[in-house]
């Protein structure tokens, strides 16, 4: 009786809406066949059967389903499915009421916790068995008191932020990095290669080549306190151009040249403007970069996206007057403040400082673009 689970589509959401089942209950399905269509606030995706058998959905269409939650089962035959149904019916009949309240299904309990629904609101449903779709109907009522209801996309972001702050004891470090050499070299690179490349593009290139030296910053940290490193250099990058916050992932960035990264970043900007990302664009990040380069933004402390262990942030380019070491006249110098939020369960300050110093060394080096133009 294999369970049908909602996959984690992207790390900056926690649930997806089940739009439709492509097969009816009790219908035969083949391995690899599409059985359901899901949608997050950022993309839609098809869910395929992982083995052949008889489909038994347990989640209703047009309901929110948490990533990793069970939405159905695939049985070997109809007899096994019928036995399961009989057993579940008996569980509901024999389940004791809690303080005179209704029986609440597992999916409904997950949704109640996610939306912050109160016990008083549950009582207004007036049913002996409360399902997820019953809880979903309470959302408009919860905001009918004159408050401004958040969009589904913003509620999803709120859920991820809440989870991050609840689970991750993060710490933060910020460092000043001079970028005169990098910006001069980027301008020359863009002219000669006829590909516009900017500081975030170069930073993605630098980050993607650090996993082997700083493995604890790239990968996934599980609830049982195990860390699973990744050397792929899959770098998530924030985009918010008025259509919502998206964090698409540049896959295998460690294998890409600066020009290839710049083209991918430009394609992501266009998708962010149109809100046209696919599910595959938003999944699989090992570490993320928060870009905050509006004028006069010094730095932003980012939120770590579970199960990642760190997020880098950069503010806008600032200018100051400095006196060279040889005592010559004052000259203008450009710099950024680069921050890193890191999971203190996995990473200590010494390691975070080491990673940021490695980034600083690369960006302040006049030779970084020589390497970046190669693969």
Q: For 65-112, how does the pLDDT look when each residue is reduced to its tens digit (9 = 90+)?
A: 888 888 999 998 888 888 888 776 555 455 444 455 677 876 677 677
Q: Are residues 255 and 315 in the same domain?
A: yes
Identify the pLDDT of residue 100: 56
Q: Are residues 132 and 180 in the same domain?
A: no
CATH of the domain at 340: 3.30.559.10
Note whether residue 160 is domain-resident: no
Report how far Cα 124 is from the mean position of its chain's Cα atoms: 35
Note whether residue 349 is domain-resident: yes
Q: Are residues 177 and 115 in the same domain?
A: no
Note whether residue 272 is domain-resident: yes
Q: How far apart are CA 136 and CA 141, in angstroms?
A: 10
Note whether residue 158 is domain-resident: no
Q: Are residues 176 and 69 in the same domain?
A: no
Note whether residue 196 is domain-resident: yes
Range of the domain at 177: 169-372
Note whether residue 361 is domain-resident: yes
Note whether residue 252 is domain-resident: yes
Q: Which residue has the tokens 């098809």?
A: 46
Identify the pLDDT of residue 266: 95
Question: Residue ranges of the alpha helices (H) in the chain?
Answer: 78-94, 106-115, 119-123, 132-136, 138-142, 152-167, 180-193, 199-207, 258-274, 349-364, 368-372
Last residue of a domain, one of 123, 142, 161: 142
Q: How far apart are CA 215 and CA 41, in angstroms?
A: 31
Q: Are residues 103 and 227 in the same domain?
A: no
Q: For 110-166, how does the pLDDT look when each residue is reduced to its tens digit (9 = 90+)?
A: 677 666 676 767 777 878 788 877 877 776 554 555 566 777 677 778 888 888 999
Identify the pLDDT of residue 248: 95
CATH of the domain at 61: 2.40.50.100
Q: Which residues of the chain have pLDDT under 70?
A: 1, 11-12, 88-101, 106-107, 110, 113-116, 118, 120, 139-148, 152, 366-375
Q: Are residues 304 and 347 in the same domain?
A: yes
Q: Are residues 133 and 183 in the same domain?
A: no
Query: Strands 44-48 and 28-29, how do they pair?
Result: unpaired
Asked whether 72 and 55 are in contact (CB, 8 A), the reply is yes
Identify the pLDDT of residue 366: 66
Q: Are residues 184 and 323 in the same domain?
A: yes
Q: Are residues 129 and 222 in the same domain?
A: no
Q: Are residues 84 and 219 in the same domain?
A: no
The phi-psi region of residue 43 (left if phi > 0; otherwise alpha if psi is between -120 and 50; otherwise beta) is beta
Identify the pLDDT of residue 176: 96
User: How many structural domains does the chain have?
Assistant: 2
Identify the pLDDT of residue 109: 73
Q: Are residues 191 and 279 in the same domain?
A: yes
DSSP class of residue 355 equals H
Identify the pLDDT of residue 187: 92
Q: Are residues 173 and 131 in the same domain?
A: no
Last residue of a domain, one of 101, 125, 142: 142
């Amino acid at each position: 009786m294999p369970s049908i689970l909602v996959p984690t589509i992207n790390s900056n959401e926690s649930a997806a809406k089940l739009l439709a089942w492509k097969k009816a209950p009790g219908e035969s399905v083949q391995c690899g066949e599409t059985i359901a269509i899901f949608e997050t606030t950022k993309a839609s995706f098809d869910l395929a059967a992982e083995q052949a058998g008889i489909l038994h959905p347990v989640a209703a269409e047009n309901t929110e389903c948490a990533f990793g939650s069970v939405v159905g089962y695939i049985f070997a035959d109809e007899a096994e499915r019928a036995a399961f149904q009989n057993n579940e019916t008996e569980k509901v009949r024999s389940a004791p009421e809690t303080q005179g309240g209704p029986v609440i299904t597992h999916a409904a309990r997950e949704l109640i916790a996610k939306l912050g629904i109160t016990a008083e609101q549950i009582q207004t449903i007036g049913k002996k068995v409360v399902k997820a779709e019953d809880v979903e109907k309470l959302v408009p009522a919860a905001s009918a008191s004159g408050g401004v209801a958040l969009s589904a996309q913003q509620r999803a972001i709120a859920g991820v932020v809440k989870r991050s702050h609840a689970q991750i004891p993060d710490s933060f470090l910020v460092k000043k990095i001079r970028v005169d050499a990098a910006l001069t070299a980027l301008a020359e690179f863009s002219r000669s290669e006829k590909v516009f490349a900017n500081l975030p593009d170069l930073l993605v290139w630098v980050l993607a080549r650090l996993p082997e030296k700083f493995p604890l910053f790239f990968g996934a940290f599980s609830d049982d306190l195990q860390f699973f490193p990744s050397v792929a250099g899959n770098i998530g990058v924030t985009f918010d151009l008025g259509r919502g916050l998206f964090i698409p992932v540049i896959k295998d960035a460690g294998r890409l040249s600066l020009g290839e990264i710049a083209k991918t970043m430009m394609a992501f900007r266009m998708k962010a403007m149109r809100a046209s990302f696919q599910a595959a664009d938003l999944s699989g990040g090992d570490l993320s970069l928060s870009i905050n380069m509006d004028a006069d933004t010094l730095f932003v402390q980012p939120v770590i996206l579970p199960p990642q262990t760190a997020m880098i942030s950069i503010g806008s380019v600032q200018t100051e007057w400095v006196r060279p070491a040889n005592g010559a006249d004052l000259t203008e110098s450009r710099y950024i403040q680069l921050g890193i939020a890191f999971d203190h369960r996995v990473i200590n300050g010494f390691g975070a400082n080491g990673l940021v110093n490695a980034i600083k060394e690369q960006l302040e080096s006049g030779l970084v673009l020589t390497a970046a133009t190669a693969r």
